[in-house]
Amino acid sequence: MSDPDDIRATLLVLYSSRIDECRSFYTDLGLRFVAEQHGRGPRHYAATLADGTVFEIYPARPGRETGALRLGLAVTGAAVTPPLAPGHHLLSDPDGRTVDIRAT
């Protein structure tokens, strides 16, 4: 069995029917996305977090849409748009997912 201290997330993929709105929402939280397309796959957006985790937003298609999900992000509150006071904030992304923000 793996030691929990050796496990970390490396990839988070959201499938959204509102891909541009979601990109804008997460960009306002400080993520820096680049547009990508692998071969004949769909155009999507990817950002790399400080710990190396890759956060991607793909266009949804029937049977592949990220539904209810709660994400937690730690951000520098003064650096987001609009700025957030230090503390705990619950936001909703354009698809209605809860985003739990810990602002410093």
Please give the residue range of the domain that contains residue 73: 4-103
Q: What's the CA gap between 71 and 77, in Å, rounded?
A: 17
Instruction: Give the residues across from 54 on adjacent strands.
Output: 11, 48
Return the CATH number at 57: 3.10.180.10
Beta strands 34-36 and 44-48: pairing type? Answer: antiparallel
Instruction: Give me the pLDDT at residue 2, please.
Output: 59
In the chain, how many domains are there?
A: 1
Give the SS3 label for residue 4. helix
pTM: 0.89
Across 9-40, b (16+ Cβ under 10 Å) vs e yields: eeeeebbbebbeebbebbeebbbebeeeeeee
Query: For the residues 34-40, what does the mean pLDDT come to?
Result: 96
Q: How confident is the model at residue 73 (pLDDT cuts 50, 70, 90)?
A: very high
